[in-house]
């Protein structure tokens, strides 16, 4: 007989742990090797026995499920099934979980949980079986084995001379883990007359369009997934499509975006470094760069190029970041003019447009 699929259940609800474990125990090919009430307990148990599949909640004490998921994918990519009441279709938590590497999502109801989990036991078993077949080697190859390319593969750096200031300004934002909530917090507070904005949020293909549609329904400004040749104009935010790089270009007196395929840069596509380098090269001192919550260092070097080209540069502060990786690396490079809490970023964008 083939080896059983070893599963760990991580959820702060004892009822969920019990019912999910019972559902999985009904399949002779699955073995629940451990349960844990939060990710820190889970990590201790995983030192002893690493599961083939994890079933996790999103809302948990001491470490949320998305951060836990990112940590697992960075250290040892493992199939993860998210089982959460937050993971409704179109919800931010769903985008976050899929962007972080979850292979399957099961939405728990907020009421009638026990009967739902019992009724959905077959769905849970099938989700675990499918997850066990996921090609995590591809994730590992993406994250670890491939060379970490720089923005040089997409466009050359600009000259060090500062571009002249004009009346056309642009705002460039880069973010990753925690960025879906962070972007909503910032963009929903901007007036319809806000400066044109270009954004890279690390997210897989197909999800950026849905994410942009959601933001568009909440914001005074228009928000949409960027298409090649789109103009950057006041009152519009363009989000780089998942699986494509986005670069700012100058077309006469106008800014437009160039959406193009290419290799991963800093192991990401879209890459913040690619966007920021293009902004440094074609907008220079006519740009405001903002780097927000995210794991890793994508965007740090690009922000330094923006800073050196005369752009104003801002990092989100540690206290308001879900993960203080990207802003921290930019600060370490001397790429930032100031570090501010997320609540102050909308005002910084507005005042830049007024005072520039």
Residue 143: other Cβ atoms inside 10 A:
16
- Cα separation, 37 vs 141, in Å, equals 31
**How many contiguous H segments (helices) and E segments (strands) does the chain have?**
13, 14
Q: How far apart are CA 255 and CA 248, in angstroms?
A: 7
Task: Decide if 201 contacts 179 (C-beta within 8 A).
Answer: yes
Phi, psi for residue 208 in degrees, rounded to 5: -65, -35
Q: Is 119 a catalytic residue?
A: no
Q: Give catalytic status of residue 115 as yes or no.
A: no
Question: How far apart, in Å, are the Cα atoms of 320 and each of 39, 289, 338, 341, 345?
Answer: 21, 18, 14, 6, 11
Question: What is the gyration radius of the CA atoms in the chain, in angstroms?
Answer: 22
Q: Catalytic annotation on 268?
A: no
* Catalytic choice (57, 230, 297, 298): 298
Enumerate residues 6+ apart whose C-beta is below 8 A from 330.
Answer: 291, 299, 300, 303, 304, 313, 315, 336
- Choice among 104, 121, 176, 194 that is catalytic: 176
- Under DSSP, the state recorded for 337 is S
Please enumerate in sequence order all residues whose Cβ is within 8 A of that of 183, keeping only pairs 6 or more positions apart, or say none. Answer: 173, 175, 199, 201, 215, 292
C-alpha 68 chain-centroid distance = 14
Say which of 38, 202, 297, 320 is annotated catalytic. 202
The catalytic site residues sit at 176, 202, 298
């Amino acid at each position: 007989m083939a080896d059983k699929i070893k599963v760990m259940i991580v959820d702060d609800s004892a009822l969920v742990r019990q019912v999910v474990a019972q559902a999985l125990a009904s399949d002779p090919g699955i073995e629940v090797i451990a349960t844990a009430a939060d990710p820190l307990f889970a990590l201790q148990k995983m030192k002893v026995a690493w599961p083939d599949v994890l079933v996790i909640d999103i809302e948990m004490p001491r470490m949320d499920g998305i951060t836990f998921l990112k940590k697992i994918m960075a250290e040892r990519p493992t199939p993860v099934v998210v089982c959460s009441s937050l993971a409704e279709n179109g919800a931010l938590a769903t985008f976050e979980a899929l962007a972080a590497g979850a292979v399957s999502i099961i939405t728990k109801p907020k009421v009638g949980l026990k009967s739902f989990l019992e009724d959905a036991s077959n769905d849970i078993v099938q989700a675990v079986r499918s997850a066990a077949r996921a090609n995590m080697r591809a994730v590992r190859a993406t994250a670890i084995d491939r060379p970490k390319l720089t923005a040089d593969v997409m466009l050359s750096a600009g000259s060090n001379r500062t571009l002249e200031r004009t009346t056309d300004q642009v705002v460039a934002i880069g973010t990753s883990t925690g960025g879906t909530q962070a972007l909503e917090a910032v963009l929903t507070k901007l007036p319809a007359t806000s400066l044109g904005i270009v954004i890279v949020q690390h997210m897989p293909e197909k999800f950026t369009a849905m994410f942009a549609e959601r933001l568009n329904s909440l914001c005074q400004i228009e928000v949409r997934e960027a298409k090649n040749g789109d103009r950057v104009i006041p009152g519009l935010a363009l989000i780089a499509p998942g699986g494509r790089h986005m670069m700012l270009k100058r077309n006469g007196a106008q800014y437009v975006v160039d959406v193009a395929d290419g290799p991963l840069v800093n192991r990401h596509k879209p890459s913040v470094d690619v966007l920021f380098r293009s902004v440094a090269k074609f907008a220079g001192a006519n740009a405001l760069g903002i780097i927000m919550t995210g794991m890793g260092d994508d965007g740090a070097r690009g922000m330094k190029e923006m800073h050196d080209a005369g752009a104003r540069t801002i990092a989100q502060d540690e206290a308001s970041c879900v993960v203080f990786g990207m802003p921290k690396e930019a600060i370490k490079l001397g790429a930032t003019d100031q570090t501010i809490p997320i609540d102050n970023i909308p005002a910084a964008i507005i005042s830049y447009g007024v005072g520039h």
